[in-house]
Amino acid sequence: MDKRTYERSMDTMMREEVARVEMVIKQIEKAKARGEEMGGGNDKVNEIRAKQKKAQEKLDELKAAGEDNWEHIKPDLDDALNDLKNSVNEAISAF
């Protein structure tokens, strides 16, 4: 896979995860507003936001990389996006 194709794919995945992050955070905030026990809701929001930031930083790093040195970023970006996705899935299951 070339850089451009990979970058577009990761950009799409990032946008999808950002939408899921916003959805789950809204669910947590609505539950808190109803007075439901959240069991670490704020911690989970902070964790998800930190992972979102890390994934975005890796995506930005990929975009800034040249054609000849982008592949070393790929594993870190893959890991960061998977980590974000897993955290969002856990939050959806928990809340």
Dihedral of alpha carbons 32, 35, 36, 41, sign? positive
Mean pLDDT for 62-77 is 94
Mean pLDDT for 30-54 is 82
List the single range of 4-13, 34-43, 51-60 with lowest mean pLDDT.
Answer: 34-43
d(CA 63, CA 35): 43
Average pLDDT of the residues of the chain:
90
Q: Spell out the alpha helix ranges (H) of 34-73.
A: 41-64
Residue with tokens 């507003």: 33
d(CA 31, CA 19): 19
pLDDT beyond 90 at 53: yes
pLDDT grade, residue 65 (50/70/90)?
very high
pLDDT beyond 70 at 39: no
pLDDT grade, residue 38 (50/70/90)?
low
Maximum Cα–Cα distance for the chain, whole Å? 53
Dihedral of alpha carbons 3, 65, 8, 88, sign? positive
Mean pLDDT for 55-59 is 97
